[in-house]
Structure 1
């Protein structure tokens, strides 16, 4: 969709050739994208096509990101969120985190890395990764029990991490603007299926109480 050029600094506007230079494509390709409404474009009062530099740079960045396997982008986003939470001290505010010694924290981090790797494969249509998700649920339960966490605390630990994945799906969807909503809905369903499998595996691995104990 093309809009009329408003009054802004002249160096913020690009002509067809300048926009093509930033994008690394032929000007005719940029013209085609603009005609199809695939790239932000504007018109001067005289009818000439112009492009806002900031919009072109943002569009180019999103296009490069969209070329990456989407599972990789989501996982990297989740890792960034985890590091931010640790840097801001929010992780240490969690009661269950305070009960973990450094050795247990390292074990959970390693399990988290394996979980992200399995998720990336699952988002890449490797259905076998779903079986690994169930096994990782068992691993989370074992680690939580060995650390003296209750089942509820271990579930909260996993959900704290899973929230990063859900937020990452939303972040990447909003940032790209280049993928069909149906594709992203399917991606969200797969992330949900994966995390649900881990959670069910975690609960299923909980030892049954001794006979006579409720």
Structure 2
């Protein structure tokens, strides 16, 4: 898997990336092999890691360590639920558009980033400044996802079906939690509102990308 960052980014060696994240190089190698972090392989076979990707991954790991009990429980269940739902619905018509290996990997990276971002957002409820910055990054992910979909020639409907599938998986997990755990309903409601707020930003960013293309196709002064 390769990173989507430009070559103007600062690229780190395996040992430099490991030092930045304070882990062993074999851990970085395993994360890269699993698709958890993007990696660039040079013509000589050496791995290089984007400094911005590493910084983002560090923030996501920090969010995972610092989440409260409710958010941590939701994150664990949401990830397992999303994987299960993909297996159950893998033959659905919209999913067949994402069977290409490269596109599947790109979308998996975006999905992982969005899940990590959701955790950060759920953990930043008391900070309006942090929340606003996280929403901006969520919009960026939505735009990237839409641009990838347009590269494949996917219509807006199919693109939104896929993003709504991800959204439904996260929300259904939150809805199921009060039944499976001793969680107060009001806490679950706050969780749902935060998830909704972030994913609304993603969906609107997707729609904006397609709307921009539609506006560009309109011929000025053409009255039909």
**TM-score, normalising length from structure 2?**
0.60
Paired residues for 1:34-113 under 5 Å: 68-88=68-88, 90=89, 92-100=90-98, 101-113=100-112
Post-superposition CA distance 1:85-138 (Å, at most 9, x none): 2344x2x22222212311101111110000000000000024121111111110
RMSD value, Cα: 2.0
Structure 1 gaps of 5+ residues are 1-66
The residue aligned with 2:49 is none
**1:68, CA displacement in angstroms?**
4.6
Give the Cα separation in 1 of the matches to 2:194 and 2:77.
17
**1:148, CA displacement in angstroms?**
1.6
Give the Cα separation in 2 of the matches to 1:71 and 1:150.
34
Larger Rg computed on CA atoms? 1
1:167 equivalenced with 2:172 (yes/no) = yes
The residue aligned with 1:139 is 144
* 1:143 to 1:72, Cα distance in 2 relative to 1, 3 A: farther
Post-superposition CA distance 1:131-186 (Å, at most 9, x none): 11111110111111112211111011100111110111012222222x33222211
* 1:129 to 1:107, Cα distance in 2 relative to 1, 3 A: same
1:149 equivalenced with 2:149 (yes/no) = no
The residue aligned with 2:19 is none
Give the Cα separation in 1 of the matches to 2:92 and 2:154.
13
The one of 200, 204, 210 aligned to 1:200: 204
* 1:152 to 1:87, Cα distance in 2 relative to 1, 3 A: closer
Count, aligned residues: 145
* 1:186 to 1:109, Cα distance in 2 relative to 1, 3 A: same
